[in-house]
Amino acid sequence: MVSKRLPVLFLDDIVLLPGMVVPVELDEPAQAAVDAARTSAGSELLIAPRLEDRYASHGVVATVQQVGKARGGTPAAVLRTGVRARIGGGVTGPGAALWVEVEPVAAGEPSETARELAAAYKKLVVSVLQRREAWQVIDSVSAIDDPGDLADTAGWAPYLTNDRKRELLETPDVEARLRLLIEWTGDFLAESEVSDKIEHDVRENVEKRNREYLLREQLKAIRKELGEDEAEGNDDYRARVEAADLPDAVREAALREVGKLERAGDQNPEAGWIRTWLDTVLDLPWNVRTDDNTDLAAARAVLDADHHGLDEVKDRIVEYLGVRARRESRGLTTVGGRGSGAVILLAGPPGVGKTSLGESVARTLGRKFVRVALGGVRDEAEIRGHRRTYVGALPGRIVRAIRESGSMNPVVLLDEVDKVGSDYRGDPAAALLEVLDPAQNHTFRDHYLDLDLDLSDVLFIATANVLDTIPQALFDRMELISIDGYTESDKVAIARDFLVPRQLERAALSEGEVTVTEDALREIAANYTREAGVRSFERLLAKAFRKAALGDLPVSVDAGDLKELIGRPRFTPESSERTAVPGVSTGLAVTGMGGDVLYIEASLLPGDKGGLSVTGQLGDVMKESAQIALSYVRAHAEELGISPEQLDHPIHLHVPAGAVPKDGPSAGVTMTTALVSLLLGRNVRAEVGMTGEVSLTGRVLPIGGVKQKLLAAQRAGLTEVYLPQRNEPDLDDVPADVLEALTVHIVADVREILSTALEPVSAGLVAAA
């Protein structure tokens, strides 16, 4: 292209490329250039950048489109830029403007390479524009075909510095210009992807935090408005969980829940139970263990200090603790089944001190003590808890016990395992089995807690009144220690040494203000109570002290004062009254309350058809015993001196309600004796009690519970008892003072009883005759 002379306008720090329309404010030199263009150059002028006082080698030829005033009154012009031009030397020209020699650059036919480069560049530019969501610009850029024109649209690119724009201006070669642009735009795109990501992340974080902050502030405001305590804020839980001494797995689970709480806030219907759950977790003594006192001599001393007598029981407990301590010190895990790894089962009637022995064991070891009452538990969830999703869910009793104890190695008394039932709500015994099984209980899972709880350091002690209702699998895990009951002198000693001092204290009396004589104690034991243990005894003492404290102090309570303090004796020897007619015999039985006497009554009914009816709360085995007794009597009637007509009448056998005996065959001798007494019309001697199974041939077979039965016989004031021969060894367990008070007849055949236990002749019958 031919060169021409044009007025020139240098723009400071602005780079214009071809194809732009720009308004320019006109200072004096600019005004001169524009004026010169309009008057002397066909409205054309050259515009070139001056960057930091450096003049560019190229500029653009522009036409003045319009002149006027900008806002504020400054003169301004609108310029449209055209082709690129090389700047030659300065020349003189009309007016105040500078004139230069310019050499416009011709736009040739684009090369193939230029087209390819242009296509690549277009893609990059579109990407950039897409990021900025500049959809209209994308359209106009896409419409540009010529590679050189496309390259010059970079004049608008805000990401290009003026230096780069000037370089573009000074690069007339289209391919070279596109290469530069591709490089720079590519760099920009890569950078902006990274920074976008960073920016995005940062923004998201900030937003989330802002959002949470805002929500929490709102929450606080709402709480305040509702008058709710701020203390139950969620952040509290995070701090508490972080501060608590928890095993890692537990902390993790707890923090997960805290997270849920924080995210969901109070609007979440689950918030309530998440809190309750967290409270439970935080309340559990995860890492708390008390140190065991393993001094066995001291252990025995503690047991002795807490309980009178029970020597054998204490021996067994100390032995058990010894074995346990040894196993633990050798790192042996206790193994299920019988043996010293098993759980102690303290079995015996109420009030013999099972619970207080359990407490004593805890004291002995220096452990915490908790009692878990199992009586009447039918629902598995009582033991293992309800799943959290269950409305009003709670942890089970085991978890509650651990929480209550405040340590992971307490003594837990499982009270009344014999009264655990099972029904459609699952089998609590199975859950207990898992609790007691050393192979499983280090990862006990309560449904509510839903975390592994290590119960392997817990010392479980079970108690039961009777053995036969304990689920077999559970019983197999236990080491049985029986406490059968106390003799009268035991009770007097327990009262003197333990119950009296304790009840005095409870009545706020000091020692010596009220004293009780041995005779008074003996009188209470004998005639005011008839129990295997000392529970009523203790209650009566409490009553006596309350009354005595109202009168003048100090006072000594003797046997004669009892009537006034606690009323008339409740039990008088009743055997003589009950057996005052033929057909009543005194048996010895074991009930849920320990040993007891029971009276079996037989009577002849009018009618001429034989047969037997049996009443009373009797089990099948007892009913069979009655049949056997009758069959025996029929078969031996002649020998026994019973007239055959007597046996034509129906017979009614009755065991009066009262203490319900356990089902079993041990009333056989008593039933037989009652029948014979009835049919012969001879009373059974009042001082006699008996127990034993009878076979059809009259053999007396052994029975259980000898000690409990003899204790009961003594309590009831009996002086003679009949026992099966094969039970003779059991007499070793019977306290000496009981044996002294009783004459024990050892018998092998029921005839030995029948020949000595009946009165010679019934007074009633003599009168009737």
Ligand X SMILES: Nc1ncnc2c1ncn2[C@@H]1O[C@H](COP(=O)(O)OP(=O)(O)OP(=O)(O)O)[C@@H](O)[C@H]1O
Site for ligand X in 419-478 (CB under 6 A): 463, 465
Q: By beta-carbon distance, which residue lies closest to ligand X?
A: 353
Q: 242 vs 497, which CB is nearer to ligand X? A: 497
534 binds ligand X (CB under 6 A): yes
Min dist. Cβ of residue 256 to ligand X (A): 42
Min dist. Cβ of residue 493 to ligand X (A): 8
Please choose, from the candidates 286, 227, 315, 695, the residue with its C-alpha nearest in 3D space to the C-alpha of residue 307: 315
86 binds ligand X (CB under 6 A): no
From 309, 582, 668, 735, residue interacting with ligand X (rule: CB under 6 A) = 309
Dihedral over alpha carbons 81, 83, 87, 88 (to 10 degrees): -130
Q: 35 vs 531, which CB is nearer to ligand X? A: 531
C-alpha–C-alpha distance, residues 105 and 18, integer Å: 11
- Whether 543 is catalytic is no
Q: Is 707 annotated as a binding residue?
A: no
∠ Cα 737 738 741 (to 5°) = 90
DSSP letter, residue 524: I
Give the list of residues 6+ apart from residue 685 with CB closer than 8 angstroms, or none. 579, 720, 757, 758, 759
DSSP letter, residue 332: P
Do the Cβ atoms of 664 and 587 come closer than 8 Å? no
Q: 295 vs 311, which CB is nearer to ligand X? A: 311
* Listed ranges 2-10, 307-315, 505-513, 583-591: which one lies at the site for ligand X (CB under 6 A): 307-315
Min dist. Cβ of residue 494 to ligand X (A): 5
From 273, 498, 528, 722, residue interacting with ligand X (rule: CB under 6 A) = 498
E-assigned strand segments in 655-714:
688-690, 693-694, 700-701
Q: Is 572 annotated as a binding residue?
A: no
Q: Which two tokens stand for residue 470?
A: 């304990």
- Whether 666 is catalytic is yes
Min dist. Cβ of residue 475 to ligand X (A): 17
Q: Is 352 annotated as a binding residue?
A: yes
Q: 356 vs 725, which CB is nearer to ligand X? A: 356
Tell me, letter by letter, the H, E, C secondary structure of 307-318: CCCCHHHHHHHH
Q: 104 vs 533, which CB is nearer to ligand X? A: 533
C-alpha–C-alpha distance, residues 328 and 420, integer Å: 30
Which residue type is seen at 526? A
The CB-based long-range contact list for 756-761 (8 Å cut-off, 24+ gap) reads 757/585, 757/673, 757/684, 757/685, 757/688, 757/690, 757/722, 758/673, 758/676, 758/677, 758/680, 758/682, 758/683, 758/684, 758/685, 759/682, 759/683, 759/684, 759/685, 760/682, 761/681, 761/682
Q: Is 104 annotated as a binding residue?
A: no
Q: Which is the catalytic residue, given 165, 314, 707, 709?
A: 709
Residues that contact ligand X, how many (by CB under 6 A): 19
* Listed ranges 304-312, 539-547, 640-648, 685-693: which one lies at the site for ligand X (CB under 6 A): 304-312
Q: 463 vs 586, which CB is nearer to ligand X? A: 463
76 forms beta bridges with 25, 68
Q: Which two tokens stand for residue 358?
A: 């359990």
Q: 110 vs 353, which CB is nearer to ligand X? A: 353
Q: Is 354 annotated as a binding residue?
A: yes
Site for ligand X in 343-372 (CB under 6 A): 350-356
Q: What is the DSSP string of 401-430?
A: HHHHHTSSS-EEEEETGGG---BTTB-HHH
∠ Cα 522 528 533 (to 5°) = 75
* Listed ranges 139-147, 271-279, 534-542, 708-716: which one lies at the site for ligand X (CB under 6 A): 534-542
Min dist. Cβ of residue 344 to ligand X (A): 13
C-alpha–C-alpha distance, residues 415 and 381, integer Å: 17
Q: Which is the catalytic residue, given 360, 489, 625, 666?
A: 666
284 binds ligand X (CB under 6 A): no
* Listed ranges 128-136, 209-217, 302-310, 748-756: which one lies at the site for ligand X (CB under 6 A): 302-310
C-alpha–C-alpha distance, residues 10 and 55, integer Å: 8
Site for ligand X in 535-554 (CB under 6 A): 535, 538
C-alpha–C-alpha distance, residues 25 and 68, integer Å: 10
C-alpha–C-alpha distance, residues 457 and 440, integer Å: 12
Q: Is 59 annotated as a binding residue?
A: no
Q: 336 vs 358, which CB is nearer to ligand X? A: 358
69 forms beta bridges with 75
418: left (phi over 0), alpha (psi -120 to 50) or beta: alpha
Instruction: Pinpoint the alpha helices (H) of 610-667.
Output: 620-635, 637-640
C-alpha–C-alpha distance, residues 488 and 52, integer Å: 120
Min dist. Cβ of residue 528 to ligand X (A): 16
Q: Is 348 annotated as a binding residue?
A: yes
C-alpha–C-alpha distance, residues 170 and 443, integer Å: 80
From 494, 521, 700, 747, residue interacting with ligand X (rule: CB under 6 A) = 494
Phi, psi of 312 (to 5 degrees): -65, -40
Q: 485 vs 582, which CB is nearer to ligand X? A: 485
Q: 352 vs 402, which CB is nearer to ligand X? A: 352
Min dist. Cβ of residue 537 to ligand X (A): 8
* Listed ranges 104-112, 239-247, 395-403, 529-537: which one lies at the site for ligand X (CB under 6 A): 529-537
From 84, 307, 324, 368, residue interacting with ligand X (rule: CB under 6 A) = 307
324 binds ligand X (CB under 6 A): no
* Listed ranges 1-9, 303-311, 336-344, 425-433: which one lies at the site for ligand X (CB under 6 A): 303-311
Q: Is 353 annotated as a binding residue?
A: yes
Min dist. Cβ of residue 359 to ligand X (A): 8
Q: How many Cβ atoms sit within 10 Å of the Cβ of residue 175?
A: 19
Site for ligand X in 52-71 (CB under 6 A): none
Min dist. Cβ of residue 595 to ligand X (A): 15
C-alpha–C-alpha distance, residues 51 and 12, integer Å: 6
Min dist. Cβ of residue 542 to ligand X (A): 11
Min dist. Cβ of residue 306 to ligand X (A): 7
C-alpha–C-alpha distance, residues 713 and 736, integer Å: 14
From 58, 177, 275, 308, residue interacting with ligand X (rule: CB under 6 A) = 308
* Listed ranges 8-16, 401-409, 471-479, 528-536: which one lies at the site for ligand X (CB under 6 A): 528-536
* Listed ranges 527-535, 619-627, 726-734, 738-746: which one lies at the site for ligand X (CB under 6 A): 527-535
Q: How many Cβ atoms sit within 10 Å of the Cβ of residue 569?
A: 14
Q: 358 vs 717, which CB is nearer to ligand X? A: 358
Judged by the rule CB under 6 A, the positions of this chain that interact with ligand X are: 307-310, 350-356, 463, 465, 494, 498, 533-535, 538
Question: Which are the catalytic amino acids?
Answer: 666, 709
Binding site listing for ATP: 348-355
Binding site listing: 348-355
